[in-house]
Amino acid sequence: MISLLLLRHETASAFQEEEKGAPPPIDSDASPPLSFQFGPQLSIGAQLHLGVLRRKNRDLEEALEDDQTRLTGRLDLAALIRPLERVELFSEFRFEERSLSRDGEVSRDRTGEVNKAYLLWKEVFPATQIQIGRQRFKDSREWIYDENLDAVRLIWGGDPVELQLSVSSNRFNPKKPEERIRNYVLYAVHQVAPKDEAAFYAIARRDPTNKDRHPTFVGISWKGKSIQGQRYWLEAASVSGSDGSKILRGYGWDIGWSSRFDYPMKPSVTIGYAFGSGDRNTEDRIDRNFQQTGLQDNQGKWHGVTKFKYYGELFDPELSNLKIWTAGLGATPFQKVSVDLVYHHYAQVEEAARLRDTGIKARPSGEERNLGSEIDLIWGFRAMAQVQMEATSALFLPGSAFPSGERAFSQEFKMQVLF
């Protein structure tokens, strides 16, 4: 059995546990289950991931060829060793091959890396454990973070209160210079009810390559499902500090409710609204644009069996100078099959000629706020305990902020085989 800490932060916290009898959510970033045990000291596991992603017209210009198809094959191998009763050593190796076809040209890339490798020492002091090494940082909606980082993390307590202190970076495996940023994290969570969780966090990010950039994030999070058939959440945060000559003063929130009804196929309805502040006066020294931590993935699930990008599978923006309205319909025709139809509408808070970290490559005009809408269809399948599949289709319809914009499309299929 995987360690208590890994379970809590990857698959099975009190809040994340599913309804009785329901399968756990498909999470392609989770470590393989440790299915093979060789005595009490050694457990190993593996998983195979296959993916196909097709994206068309992300520049919103049909006349320009920017379609791409990406094929991915990945093998994860994991092992857990317990040399002592209170000490665990966990490692996960990832081997991946990608093939990218774009503008008639095909490129291939093969990589092998240590995806996770850490030591977990339990009961260093009463109710205290320490985790050292490359490990996953994740909250259930991935609005704060979902990253593998090289870290020292101290965890105190458990249910109903847990406190984490950590220092982390991507020191040993940076893919970009900015990934060397150091993160100082305080994360405190309280189980206010059996299925309701409240958290407070503060994250200071310090870039050793740019000493004039040091954002600090302070936020609260509430996620719950104590009411039968209901899920609800609230995320709220502010960013302060500085970025070059600019003083950061932004704020944002995300609120939503999802209701599931006890009828055939378990239909569900979800509504949500997200807001990230914008900057009306770009000439002064204060930048009022909200920005997320830079560690987020913005992926979660409602009542289905799989996670998806809840701000849009294709547009997929960082919540900055944005208003996002979301409405969704879902169904679970079988216990291991789910479908979600999701609609998003996007608008800028302040007119601006740039977007922060989106899946669309076109730039808005800066004269209109209406960015457009997206319709997503997400299927989740669990053919058997060891085989998991997910299929998504997305259509982006540009608004008046893209005056000559044309539709963009994406389709993706993923399959995981657990060993």
Question: In this predicted model, what pLDDT tens digit does every residue of 377-392 receive, in sequence order?
Answer: 999 998 787 899 999 9
Peptide bond just before 208 cis, omega within 30 deg: no
Residue 125 has pLDDT above 80, yes or no: yes
pLDDT at 24: 59
Domain boundaries, the chain: 4-418
Range in 55-69, 142-156, 269-283 with the lowest mean pLDDT: 55-69
Tokens of 105: 């040209």
29: alpha, beta or left? (left if phi > 0; alpha if psi -120 to 50): alpha
In angstroms, the first-to-last Cα distance of the chain is 14
Query: How much of the chain, in percent, has pLDDT values that exceed 70?
Result: 93
Annotate 176-235 with three-state secondary structure. CHHHHCEEEEEEEEEEEECCEEEEEEEEEEECCCCCCEEEEEEEEEEEECCCCCEEEEEE
Reported confidence tier of residue 153, pLDDT bands at 50, 70, 90 = very high
Tell me how crowded residue 344 is: count the other CB atoms within 10 A of its CB.
Answer: 27
Q: pLDDT at position 352, please?
A: 96
Which tokens hold the place of 116? 């996770």
Q: What pLDDT does residue 177 have? A: 66
Dihedral in degrees, nearest 10, Cα atoms 19, 20, 23, 25 = 30
Give the tens place of pLDDT for each residue, 193-237: 889 999 999 999 998 888 888 999 999 999 999 899 999 999 999
* pLDDT at residue 10, as a whole number: 44
d(CA 139, CA 286): 30
For the CA atoms of 364, 369, 370, 375, the dihedral, rounded to the nearest 10 degrees, stands at 70
pTM of the model: 0.92
pLDDT at residue 12, as a whole number = 31
Question: What CATH code would you report for 4-418?
Answer: 2.40.160.100
Give the whole-angstrom CA distance, residue 84 versus residue 146: 30
Tens digit of each residue's pLDDT (9 = 90 or more) over 33-58 = 999 999 999 999 999 999 999 999 99
Q: Model confidence at 116, in pLDDT bands (50, 70, 90)? A: very high
- Is residue 72 pLDDT above 70, yes or no? yes
What DSSP string runs through 73-127?
Answer: EEEEEEEEEEEETTEEEEEEEEEEEEEEEETTEEEEEEEEEEEEEEEEEEEEETT
In 314-369, the DSSP E strands lie at 322-334, 337-348
Question: How sure is the predictor about 1, in pLDDT bands with cuts at 50, 70 and 90?
Answer: very low
Q: What is the mean pLDDT of the chain?
A: 91
Residue 29 pLDDT greater than 80, yes or no: yes
Q: Residue 57: CA atoms inside 13 Å, Cβ hemisphere, count?
A: 15
What band does 375 get if pLDDT is binned at 50, 70 and 90?
very high
